[in-house]
Amino acid sequence: MATSATDHSLAVAGRLGKNDVKLHIAMFPWLAFGHILPYLELAKLFAQKGHQISFISTPKNIHRLPKLPPNLSPLINLVKLPSLNLPNDAESTSDLPREKVPTLKKAHDGLRDSLSIFLRSSKPDWLLFDFTSYWVPDMARDIGIPNAYFSIFNAACLGYVGAEFPDYRTEPDDFVVAPRWVPFPSTVAYRKYEVSRLFKELSGTQGGEDDVPILYRFFKALRGCHVVAVRSCWELETEWLNLLSDLLGKPVLPIGQLPPAPPSNDSEEDEYDESWRSTKRWLDLQPKRSVVYLAFGSEAVPSQDELTEIALGLELSGFPFFWALRARSDLAELPAGFQDRTRERGIVCTTWAPQLKILDFVPKLTLHKH
């Protein structure tokens, strides 16, 4: 009797825990650094066990990855697929305003043939992919490679999405309550103002190759893979992990939160990083639990109205603050005189902020919003 792809994938999964078996694992994250970096952290964990990794992305994204630890670098092969040929050499969501991200998704889908060529030539034991690459399970099945959807979203998020598009989710109000398939009390849902922005993407029916809705990508990834790996843990999401496994009828594996490695306090980089040393001196001078730390990440770019409200709120609060601000300088500016009025008690950082180092000062912080 022939062995099915599912049987083979589960057999290979069982070998992952054996120290004497080394696998070749290919990883293909979505073109956003909120996805790329967790994939890279997982790649490092695999490499620490002696597994060989092919970490696949576009040239610009590979170039922007943090430096690999010397002991792991020989085991992590950074594979560059062709550039996307988008305006301004855009290759990730951080290179584009939100309204242009659909263009990036279309270009990402155009990497299908290049990925197929690499997989057929390298024949990895496993392929881990992201939800945007909804076409990967069919490709991997044709090549004969077991595949896992590795979700950077937690189990509650995936459980809210569900396993298929229900007929009743046709209006924005349908997304502001818990789904009908959730059997336990839950407040996991969009707020009205959130869903009003996303409704067209969430409720879209299957489009052509040039217009594939987000939820369709999710459903194809969840349904097509052999295994779902979730950035979560049993202690936090027991009910959601069990529900997700029941909905999908396949293994759902929590793999932890995958935080990046803590920074070295005595590294050469720290010694010469005047920006960080200046920030550290300022934090040291602030009273305990007095500093408001505000950071929305690299993907949430505030509008001008939002930027103004945040700035005025910080000013009126009277608290010292550190604001890691990512905004499109051509479209948004701080209120007139804001920085002069708050110069003695606040820092507005418009470049990269060393978040892990700043969070070492948690006893001094009153808020971390990300």
Supply φ then ψ for residue 284, to 5 degrees. -60, -30
Active site residue 109: no
Gap between the Cα atoms of 51 and 39, Å rounded? 15
The DSSP-derived string for 295-315 is: E-TTT----HHHHHHHHHHHH
The β-bridge partners of 324 are 295, 349
Instruction: Please give the angle made by the CA atoms of 78, 83 and 88, to the nearest 5 degrees.
Output: 125
Q: Which of 51, 108, 125, 130 is catalytic?
A: 130
Residues 313/285, Cβ–Cβ less than 8 Å: no
**Under DSSP, is residue 126 helix (H, G, I), strand (E, B) or coil?**
strand
Identify the helix (H) or strand (E) that includes residue 116. helix 112-122
Largest CA distance in the chain: 77
Backbone angles phi, psi at 218, to 5 degrees: -60, -50
Question: In the Cβ-directed half-sphere of 97, how many Cα atoms lie within 13 Å?
Answer: 9
From residue 221, alpha-carbon distances to 107, 117, 131, 228, 365 in Å are: 18, 21, 5, 9, 39
HSE-up (13 A, CA, CB side) for residue 106: 11
Angle at 280 between CA 336 and CA 367, to 5 degrees: 65
Residue 215 near residue 239 (C-beta atoms within 8 A)? no
Residues 184-188: contacts with CB within 8 Å, 24+ apart?
Answer: 184/239, 184/243, 186/156, 188/156, 188/157, 188/159, 188/160
- Whether the Cβ atoms of residue 27 and residue 42 lie closer than 8 Å to each other: yes
Determine whether 127 is exposed, middle or buried from the number of CB atoms within 10 Å of its CB (0-12, 13-18, 19+): buried
35 belongs to the catalytic site: yes
Q: Which residues are marked as active site?
A: 35, 130
